Amino acid sequence: MQEWVDIRIPPEKIDDWEFIDREVQKEIVQFNRGNLGYRLQRKSIDARQKNAVYQLRFVLFEKGKEANPRSSQWMPKDVSRSKPVGIIGAGPAGLFAALKLIELGYKPILFERGKEVRRRRRDLRSIQQENIVDPDSNYCFGEGGAGTYSDGKLYTRSKKRGNIERILQLLVDHGASEDILVDAHPHIGSNKLPGIIQKMRGTIEECGGEYYFDHRMVNFSENGSMGITSFFSNGSKFNVEALILATGHSARDIYHLVNRKGLEIESKPFALGIRAEHDQNFIDRAQYNKKNRGPYLPAASYSLKASVGDRSIFSFCMCPGGLIVPAATAPGEIVVNGMSLSRRDSPFANSGVVVTVDPSKDPEFQKYGVFASLRYQEMVEKKMFEDGNGSLNAPAQRIGDFVDGRISESLNRTSYIPGIHSSPLHKILPNDIVYVLQEGFRQFERKMKGYLTNEANIVGVESRTSAPVRIPRHHIFCNHPQMDRLFPCGEGAGYAGGIVSAALDGERVVQGMNKFFKNK
Ligand SMILES: Cc1cc2nc3c(=O)[nH]c(=O)nc-3n(C[C@H](O)[C@H](O)[C@H](O)COP(=O)(O)OP(=O)(O)OC[C@H]3O[C@@H](n4cnc5c(N)ncnc54)[C@H](O)[C@@H]3O)c2cc1C
């Protein structure tokens, strides 16, 4: 059985390893064995008391006998002449699928509609400064997918610890800080992610995998009962043994393609709302009970949820010390999301605050079929754009004014670079969403005093929290039930939400695909 010790230390001692060593040795004494070594396994913050403390857990081992516990076990392999498998989309799902393919002896060929990670940066600048959205290269599309210029928070609700550790270790192997292996809320930051994504490409190419950038897949074709054997991009046909569809939840054209091909798609619950932006100092004060968090505690985060009737409202993708970014994937729409740099040192704290939408409970959605949710998202995103007179300048309101149904005469400062303008979000968002948000904010106020304030803005619209549809797949082989060799994968297919879960799904699908081939 694994043995461990826990210690609690004041924030200012977090980098004082002599002090930490003395504290750990005091705890180790109880084991009455002289030859124990220790390794930090988990670091978290307990802010429930007046003074926040760091909680550190150390695993113990007999000196000289520690098996290397931190290894992804991933070994490079030459797959240049192996069976080619096409991966559409080089986001976390596609990248981790590629690494898994190599491990199992297949050759990954990645097709990405966007640009490689460095060139992509220029297009982000055009979005921020000139309001120009390239439909193939933006905050969601391009090498590394939506994960690259994201916040890079790496927690997931998945309980499969071993698998998660492997994903984190692979990120460390490609340049992420080892801190992510021990932090209770691991985070990379959008300044560090591009380098990691680039190194992953290096690994994949060194093993014989291939990349095609600026290649949007527009169609696929089947070969009788064999299933999919080829697909089309940039006017060329590419032959593959299998096709992994890891295109993310913003590739609406892919849902339409799958539907046109007569393949089933199901609708699923999703969420829609706004992004709330507070002063980071306020969140720090609320969470750490201190006027100033000082240099040893990270920018504080929060997680809030409430129920209003049968609807849920919850904070989503909270970015302490972060920025609100324009995450639209096509001209003519406004979508907001959040990100932060590794230091999380901006003066703003933003978070999605979203309301669940369950099409199966709403006759209006059912009337319009499986694409009703996509149309609903599009409709709200377009309304936001029109409200900004056709620019990415986003509609915003002070939270207190929103809850009271009053237009804001002025707004608080914001991190959102294209700018915000005062708008009656209580009138332009769908009525049911407004009602749940207003009630939800009142409940949040009871949980975090001062949250419902006119010192904070809300900005519209946070509409892409998860895919509103699912592309079904076999529970073991992961292929589409109506199409052999087509493997829906990741967030776009409706099996993941977030970087780590998309990466896990990439691995899962390749394992399913491997079983599919073995079963043939
Ligand atoms: C600003 C922002 C911040 C975020 N912050 C976090 C966070 O802190 N933590 C977290 O866990 N998650 C975060 N997310 C969500 C996270 O990025 C996604 O959950 C994750 O990237 C999904 O992975 P995926 O591989 O399934 O899809 P995606 O990352 O969406 O990748 C899909 C890829 O497919 C490509 N593609 C689409 N269609 C085609 C086509 N026809 N042909 C070729 N290529 C195509 C796209 O260009 C894209 O690169 C954030 C997202 C955004 C936008």
Domain encompassing residue 30: 4-62
For residue 95 and ligand 1, the question of a CB distance below 6 A is answered with no
Domain count, the chain: 3
Do 225 and 297 fall within a single domain? no
- Looking at the structure, tell me whether residues 193 and 255 fall in a common domain: yes
Report yes or no on 71 lying in a domain: no
Residues 6+ apart with CB under 8 A from 124: 138, 139, 149
Closest-CA residue to 318 (of 150, 494, 141, 138):
150
Binding site membership of 247 for ligand 1 (Cβ less than 6 Å): yes
Instruction: Pick the residue whose CA is nearest to atom 49 on ligand 1.
Output: 145
Ligand 1 midpoint to CA 466 (Å):
10
Could you report the per-residue pLDDT of 357-369, keeping only the tens digit for each? 999 998 888 888 8
Residue 76, domain member (yes or no)? no
What CATH number corresponds to the domain at position 133? Answer: 3.50.50.60
Task: Pick the range with the lowest mean pLDDT from 226-230, 245-249, 325-329, 334-338.
Answer: 226-230
Query: Ligand 1 in contact with 418 (CB < 6 A)?
Result: no
The 53-62 sheet, strands edge to edge: 4-9, 53-62, 36-46
Kindly state whether residue 75 falls inside one of the protein's structural domains.
no
Task: Examine the domain organization and report whether 250 and 290 are in the same domain.
Answer: no
One domain for residues 150 and 121:
yes
Instruction: Tell me, yes or no, whether 50 and 139 share the same domain.
Output: no
457 and 308 belong to one structural domain: yes
**How far is 432 from 445, CA to CA, in rounded Å?**
20
Q: What is the mean pLDDT of the chain?
A: 94
Both 261 and 273 in one domain: the answer is no
Average pLDDT over every residue of 264-289: 96
pLDDT class of 212 with cuts at 50, 70, 90:
very high
Q: What tokens appear for 29 in the block? A: 């004494």
CA-nearest residue, atom 33 of ligand 1: 89
**502 alpha carbon to ligand 1 midpoint, in Å?**
9
Tell me if 327 CB under 6 Å of ligand 1. Answer: yes
pTM: 0.96
CA–CA dist 371, 247 (Å, integer): 17
For residue 210, the CA-to-ligand 1 centroid distance in Å is 20
Measured torsion, CA atoms of residues 240, 245, 246, 252, in degrees rounded to the nearest 10: 140
Angstrom distances, CA of residue 204 to CA of 57, 140, 251, 343: 35, 22, 24, 29
Q: 217 C-alpha vs ligand 1 centroid, how far in Å?
A: 16
State whether 182 and 161 are in the same domain: yes
pLDDT confidence tier of residue 69, bands split at 50, 70 and 90: low
How many angstroms is it from 498 CA to the middle of ligand 1?
8
User: Which residue has tokens 């900004």?
Assistant: 388
Of 100, 121, 151, 324, best ligand 1 pocket probe by most atoms within 8 Å of the beta carbon: 151
Regarding the beta carbon of 488 and ligand 1, being less than 6 Å apart is answered: no
**What pLDDT, in 10s, does the model give residues 453-502?**
999 999 999 999 999 999 999 999 999 999 999 999 999 999 999 999 99
Q: Is the pLDDT of residue 1 over 60?
A: no
**16-36 pLDDT, tens digit each:** 999 999 999 999 888 777 788
Residue 348 CB neighbours (<10 A) = 26
Predicted confidence at residue 266, as pLDDT, reads 96
